[in-house]
Amino acid sequence: MTSTAPKAARGVPLLRAVVGTWPRRVALAVVLGTVVGTTAAGGLARHDAADAGPARAAAGEPVATGPFDLTVRSWSVTDAVQVSALEDSGADAWLVVVVGALDTDRESRRLDRTAVTLPDELPGGLARAGDAEPDRPDPTLLVRDASSYPVLSPGLADDVALLWPVSVPGESGAVSTPDEPLTVTVPTFRYRDMTVGGGRRWAETGAVTLVDVPAGAVPPEIVDPPETEDGW
């Protein structure tokens, strides 16, 4: 004769058999405790990570941003680069941040102009000039040949100079690099579907990495050649 008892009722004897003796009860308690403890630990770890604030990386340490692995190398101040553009901007000098960029995407692409963000307060009394924005360097230069707005190829690392126009303190306007670190922010991107406009693209996740960048020399490759007088 086929049993017509509900499945839940048929399962009761099995449950009683599992927990019916004290060794089985102990084993079940250990299993449940492990599950609950692991879940709680994971939640606490996520909470602690959120409370820890932004991640930090040392200068010269690669930071995975999504489309690129970025290595922030050094920063400097100069008026010997892109001199004509500097004069047009009305600024005293360029603040230059040099980064190593490895395109980890499958397509050639320009280094996103939001790849590095300056702090609100700059070392040595420097200040962004005009309408320069902290996350919008302009121009960007390929260090090895000084070409503007370079397109980087997948799997090939290149150094890129990011330039911001700045005002130099003091009446003399003497241009020099303060011997202080510059703390920059490197955002993380994720390739995702866009709700506005459709399609997919790299978009900021909100996660960032802070890098304390040491002062360094201006790459000689991007310095303008000296002017020569006609007839010489």
CATH number of the domain at 55-217, out of 2.20.25, 3.20.20, 1.10.287, 2.60.40?
Answer: 2.60.40
Residue 133: pLDDT band with limits 50, 70, 90: very high
Residue 231 confidence (pLDDT)? 44
Query: What pTM, to 2 d.p., does this model score?
Result: 0.74
Residue 148 confidence (pLDDT)? 95
The overall longest dimension of the chain from CA atoms, in Å, is: 115
Q: Of 50-54, 105-109, 223-227, give the lowest mean pLDDT range.
A: 50-54
Beta bridge partners of 165: 94
| Confidence check: pLDDT of 222 > 70 | yes
* Domain map (residue ranges) of the chain: 55-217
| Confidence check: pLDDT of 217 > 80 | yes
| Mean pLDDT computed over 106-117 | 86
| Mean pLDDT computed over 8-30 | 49
